[in-house]
């Protein structure tokens, strides 16, 4: 992997929390802030790395709950910090419109925060010591942006590209768009031709050894498969949504777990897209069997638990 520019630090997190990119300089900035569950850890990581400097800017590739859950805590720790969100999201944040922010349909929790500035594709923004180009990155999320630093060849891809696999294509679930924007964003990334990609989840990966080329090929193959068999996307998304909930809460009483499943708008959408021929109960049994079978979730007499 090529070396990161000396002014960048990547805090590699996990699947519940996105990675965080700290841009050092006279005006330090953090890009993406993780899940609210880990907000105290995020503040601590940033505070330690800043070594007495104040955090000046907080920016987001997109506003899923795993990418902006630490923002409220960071704003409390550094009340003068300026917060940047993709342009169309700014009004949603100011009104805290939970449906527009997707926390309503996914039932995912996120601490409220505020924002002052818009990230506008086609413009650039200075974060830390570097100027970053902003590009629209629809596909996984219609409003997402990616940040590209041309002198260093560094791309912050958010969930538009990972080294392995692809994220859920949310616009396909809500019916607002298809799989094509995701493929278009991959073409944009190929055209930007980065030396190093810092993804939203997983380790940074580089051109060396063909890792970026392989990631593009793998993502295109997966999207082609989803395009040909959209029910497979719905199945994948349903499993991810359920696992994500248990990553957050870790354990639930059986009745609470069932009530959460029953009240999840996105799971009902996915039921319709995967196997509308099945009843809700039969469909849930079909989805849950492999999760319990492979130990992704565990259950005992009283509770469902997060597994491996
Ligand atoms: Zn996301």
**Same structural domain, 117 and 184:** yes
As a whole number of angstroms, the distance between CA 142 and CA 146 comes to: 12
Last residue of a domain, one of 227, 257, 286: 227
User: 170 C-alpha to center of ligand 1: Å?
Assistant: 9
Alpha-carbon distance of 266 to 293, in angstroms, equals 23
Ligand 1 centroid, distance to 68 Cα (angstroms): 10
Whether 145 is covered by a domain: the verdict is: yes
Residues in the chain: 308
Ligand 1 centroid distance, CA of 133 (Å): 20
Using CA atoms, how far residue 197 sits from 4, 30, 193, 265, 275, in Å, is 10, 17, 10, 33, 36
Q: pLDDT tens digit string along 150-203?
A: 999 999 999 999 999 999 999 999 999 999 999 999 999 999 999 999 999 999
- CA of 34 from ligand 1 middle (Å) equals 11
25/150 same-domain check: yes
Q: What is the CATH number of the domain that holds 184?
A: 3.60.15.10
Measured in angstroms, how far is the CA atom of residue 300 from the centroid of ligand 1?
Answer: 31
Q: Are residues 192 and 217 in the same domain?
A: yes
* pLDDT higher than threshold 90 for residue 262: yes
Residue 232 in domain: no
Residue 63 CA to ligand 1 center (angstroms) comes to: 7
**266 C-alpha to ligand 1 centroid (Å):** 15
In which residue are the tokens 């503040």 written? 43
Q: Are residues 53 and 88 in the same domain?
A: yes
Ligand 1 centre from 234 Cα, in Å?
16
Kindly give the distance from the C-alpha atom of residue 302 to the centroid of ligand 1, in angstroms, as a whole number.
Answer: 32
- What is the distance, to the nearest Å, from the Cα of residue 246 to the centroid of all Cα atoms in its chain? 17
* Predicted local distance difference test score (pLDDT) of residue 166: 95
Q: Is residue 109 part of a domain?
A: yes
| Reported pTM | 0.96
Mark whether 218 and 260 lie in a shared domain: no
Of 227, 251, 285, the position where a domain reaches its end is 227
Query: What's the 147 CA to ligand 1 centre distance in angstroms?
Result: 15
105 and 219 together in one domain = yes
- Does residue 164 sit in the same domain as residue 127? yes
Q: Please indicate, yes or no, if residue 245 is contained in any of the structural domains.
A: yes
Q: What is the Å distance from ligand 1's center to 180 Cα? A: 17
Query: What digits encode the pLDDT tens for the residues 122-152?
Result: 999 999 999 999 999 999 999 999 999 999 9
Domain end (from 227, 250, 278): 227
Tokens of 239: 């499993």
Tell me: do 94 and 62 sit in the same domain. Answer: yes
10 Å CB burial of residue 1 (0-12, 13-18, 19+) is: middle
Find the 159 Cα to ligand 1 centroid distance in Å.
Answer: 5
User: DSSP label at 209?
Assistant: G
The alpha carbon of 294 and the centre of ligand 1 are apart by a number of angstroms equal to: 25
- One domain for residues 263 and 142: no
In this structure, is residue 160 part of a structural domain? Answer: yes
Would 215 be classed as within a structural domain?
A: yes
Q: Are residues 164 and 259 in the same domain?
A: no
Instruction: State which residues form the domain around 247.
Output: 241-306
CA distances from 113 to 76, 117, 194, 211 (A): 9, 13, 32, 36
Q: How far is the CA of 35 from the centre of ligand 1 (A)?
A: 11
CA of 64 to the centre of ligand 1 (A): 5
Interval 67-96: pLDDT, tens: 999 999 999 999 999 999 999 999 999 999
Mean pLDDT of the 212-217 span: 97
pLDDT value of residue 182: 97
- Domains in the chain, number: 2
Q: How confident is the model at residue 2 (pLDDT cuts 50, 70, 90)?
A: low
169/299 same-domain check? no
Task: Check whether 214 has a pLDDT greater than 80.
Answer: yes
Cα of 298 vs centre of ligand 1, distance in Å, is: 25
Locate tokens 């990334």: which residue? 189
Specify the pLDDT at position 193.
97
Ligand 1 center from residue 67 Cα (angstroms): 7
Same domain, 247 and 296: yes
Residue 89 lies in a domain: yes
Q: How many Å lie between the centroid of ligand 1 and the Cα of residue 85?
A: 14
Q: Residue 168 C-alpha to ligand 1 middle, in angstroms? A: 8
125 in a domain, yes or no? yes
């Amino acid at each position: 992997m090529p070396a990161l520019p000396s002014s960048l630090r990547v805090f590699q997190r996990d699947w519940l929390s996105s990675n965080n990119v700290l841009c050092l300089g006279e005006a330090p900035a953090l890009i993406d802030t993780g899940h609210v569950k880990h907000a105290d850890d995020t503040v601590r990581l940033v505070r330690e790395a800043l070594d007495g400097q104040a955090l000046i800017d907080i920016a987001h590739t997109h506003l899923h709950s795993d990418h902006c859950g630490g923002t409220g805590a960071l704003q409390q720790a550094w009340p003068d910090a300026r917060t940047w969100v993709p342009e169309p999201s700014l009004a949603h944040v100011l009104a805290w419109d939970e449906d527009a922010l997707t926390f309503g349909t996914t039932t995912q929790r996120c601490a409220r925060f505020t924002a002052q500035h818009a990230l506008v594709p086609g413009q650039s923004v200075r974060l830390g010591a570097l100027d970053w180009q902003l590009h629209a990155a629809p596909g996984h999320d219609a409003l997402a942006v990616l940040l590209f630093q041309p002198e260093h060849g560094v791309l912050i891809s958010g969930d538009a590209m990972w080294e392995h696999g692809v994220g859920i294509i949310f616009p396909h679930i809500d019916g607002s768009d298809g799989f094509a924007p995701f493929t278009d964003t991959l073409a944009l990334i190929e055209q930007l031709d980065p030396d190093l990609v810092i993804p939203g989840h997983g380790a940074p990966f580089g051109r060396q050894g063909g890792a970026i080329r392989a990631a593009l090929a793998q993502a295109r193959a997966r999207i082609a498969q989803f395009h040909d068999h959209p029910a497979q996307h719905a199945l994948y998304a349903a499993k991810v949504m359920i696992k994500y909930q248990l990553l957050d809460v870790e354990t639930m009483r059986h009745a609470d777990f069932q009530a959460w499943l029953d009240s999840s708008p996105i799971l009902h959408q996915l039921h319709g897209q995967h196997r509308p021929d099945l009843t809700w109960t039969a469909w849930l049994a079909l989805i849950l069997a492999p999760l319990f079978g492979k130990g992704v979730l565990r259950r005992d007499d009283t509770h469902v638990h997060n597994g491996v």
